[in-house]
Amino acid sequence: MATQQETAEARQHSGVGFVQTQLATLFVPPHWLKLAGGGELGPIQVAYETYGELTPAKDNAIFICHALTGDAHAAGYYEDDDEKAKPGWWDDLIGPGRTLDTDKYFVICANVLGGCQGTTGPGSINPETNQQYRLNFPFITVGDIVEVHSALTRHLGIDQLLAVIGGSLGGMQVLEWAARFPDQLRSAICLASAAQLSAQGIAFNAVGRRAIKTDPEYKDGEYETGAGPRYGLALARMIAHITYLSDQSIEMKFGRRLQDHDTFTYEMLPEVEFQVESYLHYQGKRFVERFDANSYLYLTRAMDYFDLESQYGSLTNALGKTDARFLIASYDSDWLFTTTQSKEILRALIECGKHVSFIELKSPFGHDSFLIEIEQLQNMITPFLEQAYQSRLMESAQKT
């Protein structure tokens, strides 16, 4: 068995090694962030991590947009992680020689506005009142989230990103970025996402929010830090988690296997009879330890509201202004963000004559595939980024 020191050393030398979350303070009044829903917000603290080095020409930066409950910790380990801690959520993809090659690229990932992992959100202290914002936090949209991340990249001295990448809610941010800041990105990779959330997606979010709000500990959002609607939030996560899986992946992983007995117990009180139940309870419990209920409400609403078409008049209006190269991918077993939705984006991009590649990837893992099927992403994203980067170099060579 590896000693603690051996584990630490192995971690330091694998992938990007030890990383630290950094903080930036942006939109310091009077330079408030003007919000889509009205009102202003500032100052805004942004938690972010970077991996690799920015070139002197500042032309190798890749921004990763995380999904609903993700965070800035996309790769590597924290030095004080215990032995069981997992690395960042996309670690397999980021590091020297990996798809987002940190010997070549400068990779940035930041927690979203309204989140609860270091970026200003409903759990943050409102400097005007010295109280947590809670439900006094203003309404935010995907556009507001992107506005903050765009400001962060400028704060880091970057005018144009080599790529913006994201899956699910992260993919929505990618599309919004292309629409809102068409000159700021050279390429866009949108995985398992859509230009608008489906009615089914809104429905599931609604059930999740109801679970949170009806928990007696929710107290209209005025719960104390550390307390809060644990059961409601866990329930919201259990429901959402089912939508991230596929029929086939649940079947493969658990089937109808029982958890603690060989036969049914014929008792109603214990909640866990089947393995799949135990798994969902575990997912719910773990989620409560790391996520804030109010953040969940705000971010799911931002997701519900996202609709590129109604916001910009049409998808071609939204995506027609950028010269970025697009890579769009969906998964055949994803029923939350379907291939049909990805193809709507594809059609619009073809219609306005953009450089767009598309693929429906085969995977049994449903919506979660973009977090799991690393090899598929690697085969597709590595050459795509390489080409985007080469075209950048060729252009600058032509200019000089």
Q: Which long-range contacts (CB under 8 A, 24 or more apart) does 253-257 make?
A: 253/279, 254/279
230 is in an annotated binding site: no
Q: Which of residues 221-240 bind another protein (CB under 8 A)?
A: none
According to the binding rule CB under 8 A, does residue 359 interact with another protein?
yes
According to the binding rule CB under 8 A, does residue 291 interact with another protein?
no
State which amino acid sits at residue 9.
Answer: E
Q: How many residues bind another protein (CB under 8 A)?
A: 22
The CB-of-382 to another protein minimum distance in angstroms stands at: 9
The CB-of-388 to another protein minimum distance in angstroms stands at: 8
HEC assignment per residue over 74-95: CCCECCCCCCCCCCCCCHHHEE
237 is in an annotated binding site: yes
Pairing of the two strands 44-51 and 106-110: antiparallel
The CB-of-221 to another protein minimum distance in angstroms stands at: 44
According to the binding rule CB under 8 A, does residue 353 interact with another protein?
yes
Q: Considering the complex, state which of residue 45 and residue 317 has its C-beta at the smaller distance from another protein.
A: 317
Rg (CA), the chain: 21
Applying CB under 8 A, which part among 150-158, 199-207, 246-254, 350-358 lies near another protein? Answer: 350-358
Answer whether 142's CB lies under 8 Å from 169's CB: yes
Residues 195, 177, 107, 183: what is their CA dihedral angle, to the nearest 10 degrees? 140
According to the binding rule CB under 8 A, does residue 383 interact with another protein?
yes
Residue 46, strand partner residues = 24
According to the binding rule CB under 8 A, does residue 346 interact with another protein?
yes
Active centre residues (catalytic): 168, 334, 367
Applying CB under 8 A, which part among 17-25, 173-181, 269-277, 346-354 lies near another protein? Answer: 346-354
Q: Which of residues 137-156 bind another protein (CB under 8 A)?
A: none
The candidate with the shortest Cα–Cα distance to 98, out of 82, 83, 76, is 76
Q: Which of residues 188-207 bind another protein (CB under 8 A)?
A: none
Please tell me what DSSP assigns to residue 111: P
Among 357, 372, 374, 392, interactor with another protein by CB under 8 A:
357
Determine the longest span between alpha carbons in the chain, in angstroms: 78
According to the binding rule CB under 8 A, does residue 209 interact with another protein?
no
Question: What residues contact residue 21 under an 8 Å CB cut-off, 6+ apart?
Answer: 47, 48, 49, 72, 73, 78, 118
Among 360, 372, 374, 392, interactor with another protein by CB under 8 A:
360
Please tell me what DSSP assigns to residue 353: T
Burial level of 365, CB count in 10 A (0-12/13-18/19+)?
buried
Applying CB under 8 A, which part among 147-155, 234-242, 267-275, 343-351 lies near another protein? Answer: 343-351
Instruction: Give SS3 for 65.
Output: strand
Q: Binding-site residues for substrate, please?
A: 237, 368
By the criterion CB under 8 A, which residues form the site for another protein? 325, 327, 343, 346-347, 350-351, 353, 355-360, 379-380, 383-384, 386-387, 390-391
